[in-house]
Structure 1
Amino acid sequence: MRPLGGDQVQEAVGHALEALRTAVDRDWTGTKAGGLEWNCRETAEHLASCLLSYAGQLAGRPTEAYVPFSLTVDDDADEAGLLDVVETAGALLTAAVRTTPAGVRAFHPFPFRSADREGFAAMGVAEVLLHTYDIATGLGLPYEAPTELCVSVLARIFPHVRPDEEPWPTLLWATGRGDLPGRAPVTEWRWYNPLVIPAERLALHAVTPAAAAELAAGGTGGLTWIEGGPAEGTRIGAGLVFTAYQAGALRPEWGTFALVRTEDGRALGALGYHSAPDENGRVEIGYDLVEAARGQGYATEAVRALVDWAAERARTHGDVRRLWAVVDKSNTPSQAVVGRAGFRQVSDDGEQFAYELRLPGA
């Protein structure tokens, strides 16, 4: 899986224009775009507007709403001119993604009210692939999106969707545009930007399936690590995330989070859930730090942030009621971490202590 950046936005737009420019002499206004309510011209205008909006979010970096502007295409612009607008908007998003620092986030509503440069790139690529398909279907044009782009989009903003051997039909199915054998039709959908939980000196960044695959294979997961990182426990946790993704069992907010130091953007370790909460609302957590980051309170800070998020989740969704941690009896530093975060010891099997934290209302 390739990371999604400006090159991928440029590739998607170029591939789309190559297909659509063969049909600029057709009636776009009188032709519906595939299964959409819009006609082909309206869909192309919407596509350009999305690309420009995403570029504006990265440039302006608002945190509470979209930048309040819109794109207007001249009424007398023909279809060739309209595609020039799409190309221009795509170039603006490409430039914005390339020039935005890695740690920057801006407002996007789904589902956690922010996205980073890779998220906006992924959404831009998805808009291009899907709406080109809609327009091409309406106009009777052959169109198939590039496979590698589909794989990357699915792994970045559709982590809850089980991947398939055919990524393009999977993306169409996941967005209600097609059927897949053995899977129920999709009637409602949204893509999924990863959760980021702020702490005092850290931010907890949910590890996407693409990043998890790279970490499990010995890479960095797209992160800049302090010396000695990532630790083996992080790679094991990332492997579990990717395995769950491949099985279609990943609930991304219940996965692994990279611990990223705010002051310099360097990753120090990982923390996360072993799975989604069970039928009793119980979920186990685990964590590790690169050796050079230990003894400085980072683990306690991270666990407390995760506890606070789980408590809010318990209040708003009710799907989690108890957090669980298992610590080796010889690991006194980790025992201190869970104790400071509010966990209490509930069992001792001779080799390990088990700790539990009951969330408010449990």
Structure 2
Amino acid sequence: MVLVKKFLVFIVVLALLGSAMVTFWAYRPILAEGEQPIEFAIKPGSSVKSSAEQIAAAGVPLNPDLFHLLTRLSGQSARLKAGNYELKPGTSPLALIDQLVRGEFAQESIAIIEGWTFKQMRAAIDAHPRIRHETAGLSDKDLLAKITTDYKFPEGLFFPDTYLFAKNSSDLQIYRQAHALMLKRLEEAWSRRAPGVPYKSPYEALIMASIIEKETGQKSERNMIAAVFVNRLRTGMLLQTDPTVIYGMGDRFQGNIRRKDLETDTPYNTYTRPGLPPTPIALPGAESLAAALNPARSDVLYFVSRGNGTSEFSNNLADHNRAVNKYQR
């Protein structure tokens, strides 16, 4: 009987020591501060045991049997999410389980720049090594059809911003996110538009915002640039803005715009055609959207670069010609 009691005490002590060791291990960082993060992936449909083995096989210094046991004891074994992850220094096994339950995938990012064309946006996305390229080989028209059927041309329909995504995410996810954000920002700007702005639809405001984006040297001048073009629309003047001509030239533009280019008619030549061009010419940011819909209260009709990034604005042609002579000739 004494031997049985001693054996039972031994078993209890052993269990307590084991529990203490597991507890200590569960809260101990897997990687020390200063060590390099380790990327790993869990395949869809993986069991807890298989998930633990995949993590260890990726180079994470983790005992897969202990991790399997800890996950079972935590009651989270049915909630682990498949995907691509990154183990950062300081993360404990318990914190890793929480990361897998929450689906906190390894984050990548891509910056879409204000004023880029859709062509430049596609090139940046196509070149990103951590994106799954499902749209490679699609025409712009076919790509747009996978995102929306409300528009026929993709230019201007994607908001320039920095987008976060899980490694190996589909490029369509980024396009859809950027398109949804542009529609949201455009709707917000449209709801706050000044009375009497000369647009028949939010899309026309988007076209104007893209012109303002390409014409603006100083951010503080956006509203004055907007006033010039809005006033020209109201009075029936030609917009006569070089960025639209350049856009219409496409690959023919080699860095210089000549008089011949200004006189060659295209749907985007605002020197030969009245009103707005048929589509945006770039991806405008929030400030250009706001300026297009809330131009400065001014009678200005002309502007010319001073050569230092700022512009000289004029209400009439005589003053404008004097400014051109002063700053350009």
Taking structure 1 as the reference length, the TM-score comes to: 0.26
- Flag the structure with higher helix content: 2
- Flag the structure with higher strand content: 1
- Which has the higher relative contact order, 1 or 2, with Cα contacts under 8 A spaced 6 or more apart? 2
Taking structure 2 as the reference length, the TM-score comes to: 0.27
